[in-house]
């Protein structure tokens, strides 16, 4: 792999922002980056610099991305080139890939990790291609060298045969030897017979001396003669001079010493060096004769020729041993490489070889695979694509399918090459399993979809928070005026008093709904509390009823009031999702939506639900529709993420998967019954709470806390300022109202000591509530402040306390909450 410290990347794009953003990011990743604002400059840089990878935009003035691609791929096809295109240029990007681009990226690229991954993959692919080419060249060179070596040996042997036919006829057995030891014994015996020797020995050199290979007279020659040799010994003279040594009368040769048996004191001796092709002596062959006639010069000359022939034969034996070892090594490589290798006959496509990886991929044995037609397991529909051309050239490389013995089809990348195998024209198929790559690609696409959905949900949460803020301001006016009206009527039986109470009840329900929206927008952790499921169902159905079309009838039967331990917001989400899916199924044809609650004892639980829950009595929530129903072929997948039977523009595919997750997290179970054309029934089971908890009282007892202190009340909406001033004035306070933070600061700065308390809204144009609190704290340290907010994510309760904020009140404000907070803050400030 090209390391990022040395990899050089050329970015060609006419958009300055993209060049800078990509260049800065890749340089931060330790790549060397060149940038060009058009194709002409990019090609000049490419010609001048050593570039490892090119990123090029398709649409550019002067020289287009496709022209750059054509120029670079023609000159240096091994340089990875990745095209950059907009989403409206996908077809051009695909065409660029067809013309030689390695990959493409769609702009804009929000996550630069995608850019890094694509660049790294391109560099890695280029490295692997180079290594593969080098390795193939290396193998071809090795085969060529071995072939040349064998040819050279055969040529030499042919030359020797023409000059020494008689000698060759007597030594034919030498060419049949498969190992050096057998060759040495035959060679020495042939020398001895041809020279009429009565004794002799053959030694080959090792690191520490000469090792005896064979002797004509066993027991006389030493098994090993260590280096260094005696200077006057015959072996030392032969090895040092590299020439044969003839002694016609040993008894008269006083200037030499024996290298072996000391009793060689008479007769004649003839010693030959055994040179390798390089001229280096690899051994010595010694002959001895005690009978007349002695060895003559003619014997020496003939021996030289025979020794030369023998050395060539010895080298051939060693080459054969080397080839046998190489063949074994190559077979070991084929047996252990993680690429499947199959060899088939070209004429009938019969499989004649398969390595273990191919057998593993096909999940079969060599006995079952041999003689099988390859089209039965590989690309049976693409036989026409397997035609071959010249020997040794790649003729097909494509993504295909391999059929396993169990019928499963796995994706493979198949490269077909024509070869000679055992003298027969064959096709070599290299198979790379793409299963993991396909799974990784599918997982990548799923993660990208999840990311997009998460971003949509985040945006929806932000929108919900904004809506909740505005709605809380509206509710503040409604609830405030209703409370004032009710307070003015007192405990009268006047019909208006009842209407004010109804307004307050509706306002409080709306306040709870806004609280649920805020909880959703903040993505809060679930909070398990005792809840009455019937209460949540009633609230949800009230909310849902307004959105149901007129052709759908809503029926509910809530037969139990028992409690469960649950997060109310999540249970509300479950009911809303199930009911929404139900009415979508009846949206066109109409029908009846039935919602029911039933108490189910453990013994009466359905077996499917009982298997997923702990032993406990349950509350059964039933949501039933008379809509289109769900096909049996997909009903088992409806709880999978992103599964949906709705049109592409309706729904997210997350509803039922979220419902399933919520039910499971509450230790419950969910079952589905559906018939196409009849409708669907969803049954959800929640364990009943083992302990009964007292129900919370919704009606709030309003307790007024009076006072006479001076209060500055601030809000950017005049109606809310009027309500706050009226409420606090009724409680006896001296209230000054200010519309907006600018007016409030003008009033406050006239005399910062004129107020005992400031009550302000948070979200206001100009100075926000927290910023205004800082200004007030700077001018009047210690003055208590209350901040009111409908929704504000950035409001940190701990930090605002540092500049005088004592309480944060959530809108909509009630008279009780406001009076209690004001009195509490003022009393704390006095103490």
My answer on whether 830 and 721 are in the same domain is: yes
Question: Do the beta carbons of residue 574 and residue 665 sit within 8 Å?
Answer: no
Q: Where are the beta strands (DSSP E) in 361-493?
A: 394-403, 409-421, 424-433
User: What pLDDT does residue 760 have?
Assistant: 94
* CATH, residue 120: 3.40.50.2300
User: What pLDDT does residue 784 have?
Assistant: 93
My answer on whether 547 and 496 are in the same domain is: no
My answer on whether 707 and 820 are in the same domain is: yes
Tell me which of 405, 433, 461 is where a domain ends: 433
Please, which pLDDT band fits residue 393 given cuts at 50, 70 and 90?
Answer: very low
pLDDT digits (tens, 9 = 90+) for 264-291: 667 888 888 888 777 788 888 888 888 7
My answer on whether 67 and 55 are in the same domain is: yes
Which token pair is 552?
A: 């759908």
Please, which pLDDT band fits residue 304 given cuts at 50, 70 and 90?
Answer: confident
User: What pLDDT does residue 749 have?
Assistant: 94
In angstroms, the Cα distances linking 116 to 9, 22, 120, 131 are 12, 9, 6, 22
Q: Cβ contacts of residue 131 below 8 Å, gap of 6+?
A: none
Which token pair is 391?
A: 């020997």
Residue 746 confidence (pLDDT) above 90: yes
Q: Which of 152-166, 275-289, 335-349, 522-536 has the lowest mean pLDDT?
A: 152-166
* Domain annotation covers residue 148: no
* CATH, residue 636: 3.30.565.10
Helix (H) or strand (E) holding 743: helix 741-750
Helices (H), 363-411: 366-369
Q: Which of 52, 25, 17 is CA-nearest to residue 114?
A: 25
My answer on whether 667 and 534 are in the same domain is: yes
DSSP state of 666: T
pLDDT digits (tens, 9 = 90+) for 565-615: 888 878 888 898 899 889 888 988 899 999 999 999 888 888 888 878 877
pLDDT digits (tens, 9 = 90+) for 185-231: 667 777 776 677 778 888 888 888 998 888 887 777 888 988 988 88
Please, which pLDDT band fits residue 725 given cuts at 50, 70 and 90?
Answer: very high
My answer on whether 556 and 537 are in the same domain is: yes
Measured distance CA(153)–CA(156) in Å, rounded = 5
* Domain annotation covers residue 707: yes
Dihedral sign for Cα 151, 153, 155, 157, please: negative
User: What pLDDT does residue 698 have?
Assistant: 40
My answer on whether 370 and 413 are in the same domain is: yes
* CATH, residue 242: 3.30.450.40
My answer on whether 421 and 444 are in the same domain is: no
My answer on whether 570 and 670 are in the same domain is: yes
Residue 544 confidence (pLDDT) above 90: no
Tell me which of 369, 401, 433 is where a domain ends: 433
Measured distance CA(212)–CA(191) in Å, rounded = 16
Q: Cβ contacts of residue 726 below 8 Å, gap of 6+?
A: 480, 484
C-alpha angle 637-639-641 in degrees, rounded to nearest 5: 95
My answer on whether 173 and 314 are in the same domain is: yes
Q: At what angle do helices 435-489 and 495-522 cross, to 10 degrees?
A: 160
- Let me know how long the chain is: 831
Give 60 or 461, the one with higher predicted confidence: 60
* CATH, residue 352: 3.30.450.20
Which token pair is 477?
A: 């006016």
Tell me which of 623, 657, 687 is where a domain ends: 687
Which token pair is 416?
A: 């077909």
User: What pLDDT does residue 62 have?
Assistant: 79
Residue 322 confidence (pLDDT) above 60: yes
Question: Do the beta carbons of residue 86 and residue 106 sit within 8 Å?
Answer: yes
pLDDT digits (tens, 9 = 90+) for 440-498: 887 887 777 667 766 766 676 677 777 777 777 788 888 888 888 877 777 666 778 77
C-alpha angle 207-212-217 in degrees, rounded to nearest 5: 165
* Domain annotation covers residue 138: no
> What is the side-by-side strand order in the sheet with 757-761?
734-739, 710-715, 757-761, 785-789, 805-810
C-alpha angle 402-407-408 in degrees, rounded to nearest 5: 60
Q: Which domain holds residue 401?
A: 336-433
* Domain annotation covers residue 510: yes
Residue 14 confidence (pLDDT) above 70: yes
pLDDT digits (tens, 9 = 90+) for 607-656: 888 878 877 889 999 999 999 898 888 877 787 765 555 554 454 445 68
Helices (H), 164-232: 165-170, 180-195
Strands 81-86 and 53-57: parallel
User: What pLDDT does residue 518 have?
Assistant: 64
Helix (H) or strand (E) holding 351: strand 351-354
My answer on whether 423 and 443 are in the same domain is: no
In angstroms, the Cα distances linking 830 to 308, 756, 779, 823 are 121, 10, 19, 11
| Prior bond of 812 cis (ω within 30°) | yes
My answer on whether 274 and 213 are in the same domain is: yes
pLDDT digits (tens, 9 = 90+) for 780-823: 998 999 999 877 656 666 667 777 888 888 888 888 889 999 99
Q: Which of 316, 386, 315, 321 is CA-nearest to residue 347?
A: 386
User: What pLDDT does residue 152 have?
Assistant: 67
pLDDT digits (tens, 9 = 90+) for 694-719: 554 444 444 567 889 999 999 999 99
* Domain annotation covers residue 694: no
Measured distance CA(167)–CA(187) in Å, rounded = 12
Measured distance CA(798)–CA(808) in Å, rounded = 10
465 half-sphere exposure, CB direction, 13 A CA radius = 18
CB crowding 125-141: b at 16 or more within 10 Å, else e: ebeeeeeeeeeeeeeee
DSSP secondary structure of 546-602: TTS-TTEEEEEEE----EEEE-HHHHHHHHHHHHHHHHHHTTTT-EEEEEEEEEE-G
Residue 376 confidence (pLDDT) above 90: no
Question: Do the beta carbons of residue 40 and residue 63 sit within 8 Å?
Answer: yes
* Domain annotation covers residue 184: yes
Name the one residue in this structure whose structure tokens are 């120029």.
71
697 half-sphere exposure, CB direction, 13 A CA radius = 4
* Domain annotation covers residue 145: no
Give the other-Cβ count within 10 Å of 86's Cβ. Answer: 14
Q: Which of 484, 523, 518, 508 is CA-nearest to residue 696?
A: 508
* Whole-number average pLDDT of the chain: 80
Measured distance CA(34)–CA(30) in Å, rounded = 13
- Longest C-alpha distance within the chain, in Å? 157
* Domain annotation covers residue 115: yes
Residue 263 confidence (pLDDT) above 70: no
The total of structural domains in the chain comes to 5
Strands 199-205 and 209-215: antiparallel
User: What pLDDT does residue 2 have?
Assistant: 44
């Amino acid at each position: 792999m090209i390391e990022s410290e040395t990899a050089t990347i050329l970015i060609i794009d006419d958009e300055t922002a993209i060049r800078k953003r990509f260049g800065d990011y890749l340089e931060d990743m330790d790549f060397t980056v060149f940038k060009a604002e058009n194709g002409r400059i990019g090609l000049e840089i490419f010609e001048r610099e050593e570039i490892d990878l090119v990123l090029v935009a398709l649409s550019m003035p002067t020289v287009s991305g496709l022209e750059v691609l054509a120029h670079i791929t023609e000159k240096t096809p091994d340089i990875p080139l990745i095209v950059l295109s907009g989403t409206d240029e996908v077809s051009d990007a695909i065409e660029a890939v067809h013309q030689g681009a390695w990959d493409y990226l769609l702009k804009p690229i929000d996550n630069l990790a995608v850019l890094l991954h694509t660049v790294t993959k391109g560099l890695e692919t280029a490295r692997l291609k180079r290594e593969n080419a080098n390795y193939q060249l290396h193998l071809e060179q090795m085969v060529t060298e071995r072939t040349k070596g064998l040819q050279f040996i055969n040529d030499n042997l042919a030359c020797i045969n023409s000059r020494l036919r008689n000698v060759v006829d007597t030594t034919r057995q030498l060419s049949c030897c498969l190992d050096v030891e057998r060759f040495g014994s035959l060679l020495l015996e042939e020398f001895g017979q041809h020279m009429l020797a009565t004794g002799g020995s053959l030694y080959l050199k090792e690191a520490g001396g000469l090792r005896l290979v064979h002797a004509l007279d066993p027991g006389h020659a030493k098994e090993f003669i260590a280096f260094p040799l005696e200077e006057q010994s015959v072996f030392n003279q032969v090895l040092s001079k590299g020439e044969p040594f003839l002694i016609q009368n040993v008894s008269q040769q006083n200037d030499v010493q024996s290298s072996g048996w000391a009793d060689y004191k008479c007769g004649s001796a003839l010693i030959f060096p055994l040179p390798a092709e390089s001229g280096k002596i690899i051994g010595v062959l010694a002959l001895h004769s005690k009978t007349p006639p002695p060895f003559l010069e003619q014997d020496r000359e003939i021996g030289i020729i025979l020794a030369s022939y023998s050395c060539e034969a010895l080298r051939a034996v060693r080459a054969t041993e080397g080839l046998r070892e190489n063949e074994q090594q190559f077979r070991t490589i084929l047996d252990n490489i993680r690429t499947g290798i199959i060899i088939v006959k070209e004429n009938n496509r019969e499989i004649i070889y398969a390595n273990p990886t191919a057998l593993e991929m096909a999940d079969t044995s060599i006995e079952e695979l041999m003689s099988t037609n390859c089209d039965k397991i590989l690309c049976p529909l693409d036989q026409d694509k397997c035609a071959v051309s010249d020997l040794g050239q790649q003729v097909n490389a494509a993504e295909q399918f391999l059929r396993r013995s169990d019928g499963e089809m796995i994706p493979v990348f198949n490269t077909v090459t024509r070869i000679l195998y055992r003298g027969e024209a064959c096709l070599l198929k290299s198979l790379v399993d793409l299963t993991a790559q396909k799974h990784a690609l599918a997982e990548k696409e799923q993660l990208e979809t999840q990311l997009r959905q998460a971003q949509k949900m985040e945006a929806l949460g932000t929108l919900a928070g904004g809506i909740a803020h505005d709605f809380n301001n509206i509710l503040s006016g409604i609830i405030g005026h209703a409370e004032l009206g009710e307070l003015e009527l007192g405990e009268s039986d006047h019909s208006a008093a009842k209407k004010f109470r109804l307004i307050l009840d509706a306002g409080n329900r709306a306040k709870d709904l806004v609280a649920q929206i805020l909880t959703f927008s903040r993505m809060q952790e679930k909070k398990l509390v005792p809840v009455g499921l019937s209460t949540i169902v009633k609230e949800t159905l009230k909310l849902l009823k307004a959105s149901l079309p007129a052709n759908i009838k809503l029926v509910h039967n809530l037969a139990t009031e028992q409690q469960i331990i649950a997060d109310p917001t999540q249970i509300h989400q479950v009911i809303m999702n199930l009911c929404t899916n139900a009415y979508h199924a009846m949206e066109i044809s109409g029908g009846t939506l039935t919602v029911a609650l039933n108490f189910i004892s453990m013994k009466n639980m359905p077996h499917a639900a009982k298997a997923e829950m702990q032993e406990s009595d349950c509350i059964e929530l039933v949501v039933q529709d008379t809509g289109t129903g769900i096909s049996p072929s997909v009903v088992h997948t409806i709880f999978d993420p992103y599964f949906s039977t709705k049109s592409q523009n309706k729904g997210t595919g997350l509803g039922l998967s979220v419902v399933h997750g919520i039910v499971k997290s509450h230790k419950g179970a969910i079952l589905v019954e559906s018939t196409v054309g009849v409708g669907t029934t969803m049954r959800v089971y929640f364990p009943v709470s083992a302990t009964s908890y007292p129900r919370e009282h919704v009606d709030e007892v309003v307790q007024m806390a009076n006072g006479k202190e001076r209060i500055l009340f601030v809000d950017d909406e005049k109606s809310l300022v009027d309500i706050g001033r009226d409420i606090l004035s009724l409680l006896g306070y001296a209230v000054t109202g200010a519309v907006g933070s600018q007016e409030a600061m003008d009033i406050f700065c006239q005399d910062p000591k004129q107020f005992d308390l400031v009550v302000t809204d948070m979200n206001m144009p100009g100075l926000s509530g927290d910023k205004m609190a800082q200004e007030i704290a700077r001018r009047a340290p210690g003055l208590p402040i209350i901040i009111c907010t409908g929704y504000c994510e950035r409001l940190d309760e701990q930090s605002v306390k540092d500049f005088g904020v004592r309480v944060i009140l959530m809108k909509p404000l009630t008279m009780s909450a406001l009076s209690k907070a004001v009195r509490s803050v003022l009393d704390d400030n006095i103490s």
